[in-house]
Amino acid sequence: MSKQPNIPEALPVPEPPRPSAARLVSRFLGLLLLAAVGILTLLGAGNLDGLGSVLGLLRPRSATVGILAGHWKNDSGAVCEDGLTEVEINLAVAQAVVEKLRAEGIDAELLPEFDRRLNGYRSRVFVAIHTDSCVSLSGFKVARMTHANDPEAEDRLVQLLTSSYGQATGLEPHKDTITEDMRQYHALRRISPDTAGAIIELGFMGGDRALLTTHPEWAATGIARGIVAWLQESDTP
């Protein structure tokens, strides 16, 4: 009789391959995205701006500072009887702010009113620049979004911008005319939650016209100094 070969009772089961780190990260991000979409779906369609903000946490920062020129590449904004438009004031000041920040070695970029990148836009600071109507009033105002992700940081940004802008221009704050539209400004709702954001109304195109049209660099200096001060404070341990 021939000798039977030794056959093991059960073959060893090979271990399944372990997922790579890249695949694990991809799965995590996918689950995070699904969770964000689910939450916003439950909250309602009106919170779609919030989806862009949440997705912004997954992006690298675009720049250190983002400066939005109100109404640029969209419409004229407020228009005075003689044809002076808000957008020309906003753009002149916004361009000067970006130039001043870059001169200080700060990475800054200029954004139009409805730039697609605003959905989840990431930077350390974001400031939207607008100008008030052609009425015979004088003064400026700075505001943050009502429900800020980091209210202390954004309150400090508002304080520093208010102080530096007032010193540079000689204008007084006109807080009585801060509106809910400013506090719920679309761009502040769309940027990433970890981006400190604020909106400034430079002054009134009626009462402050001479300063805004003749010395836009004063306004730009005030905004740039406030941003630099905030960056320096936030870098201090």
Q: Tell me what pLDDT residue 3 has.
A: 53
Specify whether the CB–CB gap between 198 and 160 falls below 8 A: no
Specify whether the CB–CB gap between 132 and 78 falls below 8 A: yes
- The stretch 27-37 carries a mean pLDDT of 53
Lookup: tokens for 219:
């306004």
115 against 38, higher pLDDT: 115
- Which of 57-66, 209-218, 226-235 has the lowest average pLDDT? 57-66
pLDDT band at 236 (very low <50, low <70, confident <90, very high): confident
Specify whether the CB–CB gap between 187 and 126 falls below 8 A: yes
Paired residues of 141 in beta bridges: 201
Rounded to an integer, what distance in angstroms lies between the CA atom of residue 158 and that of residue 226?
Answer: 9
- Does the pTM surpass 0.75? The reply is yes
Q: Tell me what pLDDT residue 48 has.
A: 46
pLDDT of 79 over the 60 cut? yes
Q: Tell me what pLDDT residue 63 has.
A: 83
- Give the residue extent of every domain in the chain: 24-56, 65-235
Mean pLDDT score of the chain: 85
**Looking at residue 24, what DSSP letter applies?**
H
CA-nearest of 202, 147, 130 to 169 is 202
35 against 102, higher pLDDT: 102
Phi and psi angles of residue 84, each rounded to the nearest 5 degrees, phi first: -65, 130
> Contacts by 49-52 with C-beta closer than 8 Å and gap 24+?
49/119, 49/186, 49/189, 49/190, 50/189, 52/118, 52/119, 52/120, 52/190
Task: Report the percentage of the chain scoring pLDDT > 70.
Answer: 73
Residues 147-193: pLDDT tens digits? 888 999 999 999 999 999 999 999 999 988 999 999 999 999 999 99
∠ CA 185-57-179, nearest 5°, is 10
CATH no., domain 65-235: 3.40.630.40
Residues 39-68: pLDDT tens digits? 445 545 444 444 454 454 555 655 899 999
pLDDT band at 71 (very low <50, low <70, confident <90, very high): very high
